[in-house]
Amino acid sequence: MIQISATYAGLLLLTMLGLGARVSILRVKHGVSMGSGDQPDLARALRVFGNFTEWVPMIIIGLVLSELVGAPALLLHLIGIAVILSRLLHVAGLRADRATAARSLGALLIMASGLTTGGYLVYASVV
């Protein structure tokens, strides 16, 4: 059973749908069907959504595989929480036109999540 990773996958999927809805709302608001139409708020929303879709799917796959090979529940929860927190920080961090501590921390957390998940899978496959 993969209950822990399924929980985080579900939460992240709902988050992705919210981010995608925000892009759609801004496209309608600005009358833009492709790209950002030089609208800063739409460009930010697209970047947040794009960053999410670049990082999160592979980490979810890693989380599921980690649970299947017997990763400790605490590790799975720490990774899941870190991924969610990283994406929330990324959203908050992109509200400004400059680099922010929230954005940097979000980037650090998503990379640490990927490194931890990937590292665990390599470890579990050779032990």
Chain segment 77-100, per-residue pLDDT in tens: 999 999 999 999 988 888 777 778
Q: What confidence score (pLDDT) does residue 71 get?
A: 97
All residues at 6 or more sequence positions from 67 whose CB lies less than 8 Å from its CB, including other chains: 2, 4, 5, 76
Q: What confidence score (pLDDT) does residue 98 get?
A: 73
The DSSP symbol for 87 reads H
pLDDT bracket for residue 76 (50, 70, 90):
very high
Average pLDDT over residues 18-31: 96
Domain boundaries, the chain: 3-126
- Give how far Cα 18 sits from Cα of 13, 49, 71, Å: 9, 9, 30
pLDDT in tens, 26-53: 999 999 999 999 999 999 999 999 999 9
Whether 19 contacts 48, CB under 8 Å: yes
Average pLDDT over residues 21-30: 97
pTM, 2 dp:
0.90
Query: Of 29, 111, 120, nearest to 68 (Cα)?
Result: 120
Total length of the chain: 127
Query: Of 12, 57, 49, nearest to 27 (Cα)?
Result: 49
CATH architecture of 3-126: Up-down Bundle (1.20)
Q: What confidence score (pLDDT) does residue 58 get?
A: 97
CA end-to-end distance (rounded Å), the chain: 22
